[in-house]
């Protein structure tokens, strides 16, 4: 993670101080953009090679120009080709099986320098590219410039792991000159950075060994109990680590004067698996809903009979979370994890549509308590597929049998 490196953390702090001093004297949007872009390059060059940033800037220029074209003309075929293009580039760079397939069919272009960029941050850059293209096509982006777009793509607080901001929101806050509100935002950001740092540096190191290696418990417990305790620790670890990073990223953005969206909202208190995905990695979930699930549902509704809406929802959930799983990693265990959540959402959909529990019972504290417990257990079991490879999963299942 970007902020776990103390030297980089110092660079970030220095940039925040210098930028806040400068913006009291500089009201011009272009100059502010240049300052932020300079800060983005300076900090990202500590973790990303120059070649990678140059290639990504060239690709960003291409995507920006396509977006500007889509803002003026209604060309759905340009949108489709552009989205397929960036997804294809991402797939070639991220997935070894795609590279191996292309080598087999003797497409040697995958070895070109343009496709040798580092993987760091690519997943989130992909989201921003797709968001820019689709929202431009919908004519929802009315005011844009290339420098702001570059800052949106390379914004260092959220470069590695989000949150995934919308371009219109980022564009608005870059040009915001309300110093009174900016001051409040700065101190709110400082508090978030402190909370996030406490999570990631104060608590995570205490539990990470137990969370990521169930064998730590084997000396005192049976394999089944050891695995259970490790999974509980992993649930705490992944939440504290990820939400802690989000707190630092959001807080740092606040301190620069950009109000970045929230990413977590007490996800382990969710009443059901659908509620969980509205609370966990919120910006990513919103992206999946808007740009994956809804288009799949729209397509299926045009093919499948209207009476089969439940079937449409089930297929939509499964396909969306297969994509969700594969986005997290190319190994097969991530596919299992995605299917686990897709199946969970399917079960919940059947429960909600077919069984329809009594409203009074549904609203009781007892039902809510049971629902929270079941959802938490379901999500915790799912982390098993997320963390361990298929080979490790096979060993674990053999051990606890």
Residues 6+ apart with CB under 8 A from 300: 312, 315, 316
- Cα 93 from Cα 110, distance rounded (Å): 8
Residue 372 has pLDDT above 80, yes or no: yes
Tell me 4's DSSP state: G
Question: C-alpha angle with apex 41: 38 to 42, nearest 5 degrees?
Answer: 85
Assign 62 a pLDDT band (cuts: 50, 70, 90): very high
Residues 6+ apart with CB under 8 A from 69: 75, 78
Residue 282, classified by CB atoms within 10 Å of its CB into exposed (0-12), middle (13-18) or buried (19+), is buried
The pLDDT of residue 1 is 54
Return mean pLDDT, the chain: 88
The pLDDT of residue 99 is 65
Residue 108 has pLDDT above 60, yes or no: no
Question: C-alpha angle with apex 69: 68 to 71, nearest 5 degrees?
Answer: 65
Average pLDDT over residues 205-213: 94
User: What's the predicted TM-score (pTM) here?
Assistant: 0.91
The pLDDT of residue 355 is 76
Residues 6+ apart with CB under 8 A from 93: 115, 117, 119, 122
Residue 114 has pLDDT above 60, yes or no: no
pLDDT tens-digit series, residues 269-292: 999 999 999 999 999 999 999 999
Q: What is the DSSP string of 284-312?
A: HHHHHIIIIIHHHHHHHHHHS-GGGHHHH
Assign 366 a pLDDT band (cuts: 50, 70, 90): confident
More confident residue, 324 or 73: 324
- Cα 251 from Cα 255, distance rounded (Å): 6
The pLDDT of residue 144 is 87
3-state secondary structure of 145: coil
Residue 342, classified by CB atoms within 10 Å of its CB into exposed (0-12), middle (13-18) or buried (19+), is buried
- Cα 376 from Cα 368, distance rounded (Å): 12
The pLDDT of residue 111 is 58
Average pLDDT over residues 85-93: 85
* Domain extent listing, the chain: 2-175, 180-256, 267-400
Check: CB of residue 102 under 8 Å from CB of residue 92: yes
The pLDDT of residue 103 is 62
CB atoms within 10 A of CB 163: 22
Question: C-alpha angle with apex 235: 230 to 241, nearest 5 degrees?
Answer: 115
Residues 6+ apart with CB under 8 A from 30: 147
| Length reported for the chain | 401
In our burial notation (b when 16+ CB lie closer than 10 A, e otherwise), range 373-399 reads eebbebbbebbbbbbbeeeebeebeee
The pLDDT of residue 330 is 79
The pLDDT of residue 105 is 60
**Tokens in use for 167?**
């371009």
In our burial notation (b when 16+ CB lie closer than 10 A, e otherwise), range 208-232 reads bebbeebebbeeeeebeebbbbbbb
In our burial notation (b when 16+ CB lie closer than 10 A, e otherwise), range 38-71 reads ebbbebbeebbeeebbebbeebbeebbebbbebb
Check: CB of residue 180 under 8 Å from CB of residue 217: no
Check: CB of residue 164 under 8 Å from CB of residue 287: yes
pLDDT tens-digit series, residues 287-307: 999 999 999 999 999 888 877
Check: CB of residue 284 under 8 Å from CB of residue 338: no
The pLDDT of residue 153 is 95
């Amino acid at each position: 993670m970007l902020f776990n490196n103390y030297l980089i953390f110092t660079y970030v702090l220095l940039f925040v101080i210098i930028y806040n001093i400068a913006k009291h004297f500089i009201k011009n949007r272009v100059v502010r953009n240049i300052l932020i872009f300079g800060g983005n390059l300076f900090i990202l060059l500590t973790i990303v090679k120059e070649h990678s940033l140059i290639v990504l800037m060239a690709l960003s220029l291409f995507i920006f120009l396509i977006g500007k074209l889509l803002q003026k003309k209604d060309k759905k075929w340009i949108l489709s080709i552009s989205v397929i293009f960036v997804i294809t580039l991402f797939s070639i760079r991220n997935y070894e099986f795609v590279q191996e397939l292309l080598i087999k069919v003797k497409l040697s272009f995958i070895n070109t320098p343009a496709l040798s960029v580092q993987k760091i941050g690519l997943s989130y850059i992909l989201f921003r590219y797709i968001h820019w293209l689709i929202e431009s096509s919908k004519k929802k982006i009315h005011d844009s410039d290339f420098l702001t777009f570059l800052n949106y793509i390379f914004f260092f607080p959220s470069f590695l792991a989000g949150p995934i901001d919308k371009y219109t929101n980022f564009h608005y806050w870059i040009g915001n000159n309300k110093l009174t509100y900016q001051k409040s935002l700065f101190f709110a950001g400082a508090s978030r950075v402190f909370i996030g740092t406490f999570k990631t540096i104060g608590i995570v190191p205490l539990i990470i060994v137990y969370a990521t290696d169930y064998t730590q418990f084997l000396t005192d417990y049976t394999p089944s109990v050891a695995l259970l305790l490790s999974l509980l620790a992993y649930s705490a670890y992944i939440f504290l680590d990820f939400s802690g990073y989000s707190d630092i990223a959001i807080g740092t953005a606040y301190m620069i004067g950009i109000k970045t969206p929230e990413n977590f909202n007490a996800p382990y208190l969710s009443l059901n698996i659908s509620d969980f995905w509205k609370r966990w990695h919120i910006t990513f979930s919103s992206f999946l809903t808007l740009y994956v699930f809804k288009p799949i549902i729209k397509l299926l509704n045009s093919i499948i009979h209207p009476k089969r809406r439940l079937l449409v929802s089930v297929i939509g959930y499964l396909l969306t979370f297969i994509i969700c799983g594969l986005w997290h990693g190319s190994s097969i265990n991530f596919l299992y994890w995605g299917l686990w959540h897709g199946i969970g959402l399917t079960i919940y959909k059947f429960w909600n549509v077919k069984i329809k529990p009594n409203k009074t019972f549904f609203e009781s504290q007892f039902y809510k308590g049971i629902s929270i417990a079941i959802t938490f257990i379901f999500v915790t079991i799912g982390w098993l597929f997320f963390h361990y490879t298929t080979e490790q999963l096979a060993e674990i299942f053999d051990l606890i049998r």
